[in-house]
A and B are shown apart, each in its own frame.
Chain A
Amino acid sequence: MTAYLHARDLACERDGRLLFEQLEVRLQVGEMLQVCGPNGSGKTSLLRVLAGLMTPTAGQVLLDGQPVQGQRAALHRHLLWLGHAAGIKDMLSAEENLAWLSALHTAATPGAIDQALRTVGLRGFEDVPSHTLSAGQQRRVALARLYLPGPPLWVLDEPFTALDKQGVAQLEEHLAKHCQRGGMVLLTTHHRLMRTPAGYRELELGAGTP
């Protein structure tokens, strides 16, 4: 089944301020959509609306041509959400965090978790409580989820925050490969991507408003 996301006439209002309206978003298999725009232009709100965390002020979100309201369970099975706060527990180690997140979403074996942590460069930090890790390392724990078996549609809010150069390059490469394998990526970031897959597009938010 191909999870295919389509939003029509989307509008979002926060605290009496209109962030965007009449917005059309399409995401097909193999595509990557980068949402750009100045701070406060509604990038995170758009992602939250598309992930089903927020209801839009107007418009609707379709998954595979059907309104998403009736098929929340299908959306949740096909979606990996990585928010600004990435859901990493301070008191748990990197390994426990991943075990917990994979139990919550898609089951993964301890071997796969170990492998994912090595891939993101956290070898030797598996057993350390997360609050002792640096911000970049904590981000890497969250990103290790992308190296586990999981859903095809990735919605990532500022995934490059606090990563070093090598980490950024590795993540860009991984996102592009995911799209080539038939996945979908929807992300916000301010930095220009060096490595983009064939189905790469940009969506500029807040260009028209002062």
Chain B
Amino acid sequence: MSAWLQLLRCEARLLCRRPAELANPLVFFAIVIALFPLAVGPQLNLLQALSPGLIWVAALLAVLLSLDGLFRSDFEDGSLEQWVLSPHPLALLVLMKVFVHWAFSGLALVLLSPLLAVMLGLPAECVPVLLASLLLGTPVLSLLGAIGAALTVGLKRGGLLLALLILPLYIPVLILGSGALQAALQGLPTGGYLLWLASLAALTITLAPFAIAAGLKISVSE
């Protein structure tokens, strides 16, 4: 147990020592949403109607942006080999790593989103739904993206390939996430969307670590 705490602390420490890498996706998220009202014009109805899709697309791309380098430095300095050869199960190790990464990028994005929602004129009663949908959706985005990151870590320029591999898998999350927000805007019940997102989250938390571990093993053995 103390070994896992130590590993968690170490991952958190590593992320904290590269604050620029953490800030990049958040700044991207904030800038995309802040620019929209300027480009579209200050018509509240139009912005409100656009906001569910806009927030979700920006969040999705921000998560994708943050994932490209998830395993890159581990691959280059040889620590990925140490991971693969550790007596601890690799799937659990990667789950821990993705969780720490999500806590510093995805969770930060969730916390930032109400502020940006105000910019788009989203009514206050929609904010809980926004928070819940992002809270359930971003871990799915992180875990699915990590599968792609694990498969492309050995390639020199894996960024575009990562996007091509992973974007199709992101579509259900995008539809359900923005759907929940649309429903909230129109005063319809959102429970169904959120339950679907929760089941997707449960599915990826249990299965994605195995796919990530397998991807890393393939990348290391090349």
Contacts and interface: CB of A to CB of B under 8 A. Distances in A.
Contacts of B88: 104
Contacts, number: 76
Contact of B82 (A52, A90, A105): A105
Nearest to B8: A103
A159 to B, nearest CB: 13
A53 B84 CA distance: 8
B132 interface: no
Interface stretch (A34-42, A71-79, A175-183, A188-196): A71-79
B18 interface: yes
A88 B220 CA distance: 16
Q: Majority SS of interface residues in chain A?
A: loop
A77 B77 contact: no
Contacts of A53: 81, 84-85, 220-221
B85 A55 contact: no
Contacts of B73: 89-90
B103 to A, nearest CB: 18
A20 interface: no
Contact of A103 (B7, B78, B84, B221): B7
- Classify chain B: how many residues form its interface, as a range: 20 to 34
A76 B85 CA distance: 5
Interface residues of A, number: 29
Given A101-B82, A104-B7, A107-B3, A92 B77 contact: no
Interface in A29-77: 48, 51-55, 73, 76-77
Nearest to A106: B87
Contacts of A88: 77-79
Interface of A: 48, 51-55, 73, 76-77, 79, 81, 83-92, 96, 99-101, 103-105, 107
18 contacts: A53-B85, A53-B220, A76-B87, A81-B81, A85-B77, A86-B77, A86-B78, A88-B77, A89-B73, A91-B13, A91-B17, A91-B18, A92-B10, A92-B13, A101-B82, A103-B6, A103-B7, A104-B83
